[in-house]
Amino acid sequence: MESTFSCGNYMIPPRMLSEKSILITGGTGSFGREFVRLALKNFNPKKVIIYSRDEWKQSEMQSLEEFKHSAIRFFLGDVRDRDRLELAMRQVDYVIHAAALKQVPAAEYNPHEFIKTNVNGATNVMEAALKAGVKKVLALSTDKAVNPVNLYGATKLCSDKVFIAANSYGSGGGTVFSVVRYGNVVGSRGSVIPIFQKQRETGTISITNPEMTRFLITLRQGAEFVLKSLGDMVGGELFIPKIPACTVADIANLVAPDCDWDTIGLRPGEKMHEVLIPEDEARNVMEFENHFVIQPIQTFWGNKIGIKGGTKCPDNFTYASNINTVQFSGEELKLLLKDFIPS
277 forms bridges with which residues in the sheet?
319
Pick from 176, 107, 175: nearest CA to 142: 107
Amino acid at 159: S
Are 50 and 32 in contact by the 8 Å Cβ rule? The answer is yes
> What does each C-alpha distance from 272 to 18, 276, 322 come to in angstroms?
43, 13, 9
150 forms bridges with which residues in the sheet?
none
Choose, from 20, 57, 102, 144, the residue flagged as catalytic.
144
Q: What is the 3-state secondary structure (H, E, C) of 59-122?
A: HHHHCCHHHCCCCEEEEECCCCCHHHHHHHCCCCCEEEECCCCCCHHHHHHCHHHHHHHHHHHH
Q: How many CB atoms are located within 10 Å of the residue 258 CB?
A: 8
Query: Is 131 part of the annotated catalytic residue set?
Result: no
5 forms bridges with which residues in the sheet?
12
Question: Strands (DSSP E) along the chain, which ranges?
Answer: 5-7, 10-12, 21-25, 47-52, 72-76, 94-97, 136-140, 176-180, 184-185, 204-207, 213-217, 238-241, 245-247, 260-263, 275-277, 285-287, 291-294, 311-312, 319-320
Q: In whole angstroms, how large is the CA radius of gyration of the chain? A: 20
As a whole number of angstroms, the distance between CA 50 and CA 58 comes to: 8
Who contacts 20 (Cβ-Cβ below 8 Å, separation ≥6)?
45, 46, 93, 94
Cα dihedral sign, 302-308-312-317? negative
> What does each C-alpha distance from 336 to 246, 276, 295, 327, 341 come to in angstroms?
12, 21, 31, 13, 10
Task: Give me the active site residues, please.
Answer: 144
